[in-house]
């Protein structure tokens, strides 16, 4: 029996790229998947890719760059199922490339809104439900980016994700809600660009490791997708 059979996962940003690969990987483990995209029509390809798997799928759509958009995403989930077992916070944006001193504060606000504040709101909504059920896995996608000051809002937002994940793990210590980060590596996606080191498909099987942890397993740990082949 697939390890995650009957579980429900929400994968943000799963209409393409890394999130789409994660959705496919979870489906292969028997996990039901809620696919998220900015617009409903953007999710159609992922929906088609998951059809061969014997799972249920659902779709939620909405931007993560505002409180209203995040609420729309949450409402879209809760209209279909009143809980999720796995929250995979994958969606992120990268600020435009600019010299460090020229990056406007607005770029910082926009990047942190999607990359950090949306994650916090989703965790605040769904983790209490996981606690009531006594099982949950939260995976926050981080980044190994360094020494690129032109992309500081992105890199600093990911550093904040790392610290937030550690705080969540401390808060949830002793529960069976495990919170970890995944560094997918530098992948050839719309975000990573064509010169990245790896094809997007190489995020698997590593991206599944934190979702497949045994009960009361590691929490507050970083997993690197490229360590698993």
CA 161: distance to chain centroid? 11
Contact 216, 176 (CB under 8 A): yes
Contact 225, 202 (CB under 8 A): yes
Q: Which two tokens stand for residue 14?
A: 């799963």
Q: Does the annotation mark 88 as catalytic?
A: no
Contact 29, 208 (CB under 8 A): yes
76-89 burial by CB neighbour count: b if 16+ within 10 A, else e?
bbeeeeeebbbbbb
Residue in 88, 154, 164, 223 annotated catalytic: 154
Could you list the beta-strand ranges (E) of 41-99.
57-61, 86-89
Rounded to whole angstroms, the Cα distance separating 218 from 181 reads 11
Positions marked catalytic:
154
């Amino acid at each position: 029996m697939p390890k995650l059979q009957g579980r429900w996962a929400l994968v943000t940003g799963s209409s393409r790229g890394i999130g789409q690969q994660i959705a496919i990987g979870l489906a292969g483990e028997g996990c039901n998947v809620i696919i998220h995209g900015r617009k409903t029509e953007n999710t159609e390809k992922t929906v088609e890719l998951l059809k061969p798997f014997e799972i249920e799928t659902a779709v939620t759509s909405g931007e993560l760059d505002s409180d209203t958009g995040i609420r729309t995403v949450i409402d879209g989930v809760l209209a279909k199922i009143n809980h999720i077992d796995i929250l995979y916070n994958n969606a992120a944006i990268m600020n435009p490339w600019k010299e460090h001193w020229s990056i406007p504060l607005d770029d910082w606000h926009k990047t942190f809104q999607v990359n950090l504040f949306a994650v916090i709101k989703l965790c605040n909504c769904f983790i209490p439900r996981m606690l009531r059920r006594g099982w949950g896995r939260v995976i926050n996608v981080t980044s190994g980016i360094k020494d690129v000051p032109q992309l500081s809002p992105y890199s600093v937002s990911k550093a904040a994700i790392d610290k937030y994940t550690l705080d969540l793990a401390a808060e949830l210590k002793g529960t069976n809600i495990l919170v970890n980060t995944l560094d997918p590596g530098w992948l050839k996606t719309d975000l990573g660009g064509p010169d990245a080191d790896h094809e997007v498909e190489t995020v698997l099987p590593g991206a599944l490791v934190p979702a497949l942890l045994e009960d009361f397993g590691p929490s507050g740990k970083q997993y690197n997708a490229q360590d698993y082949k």
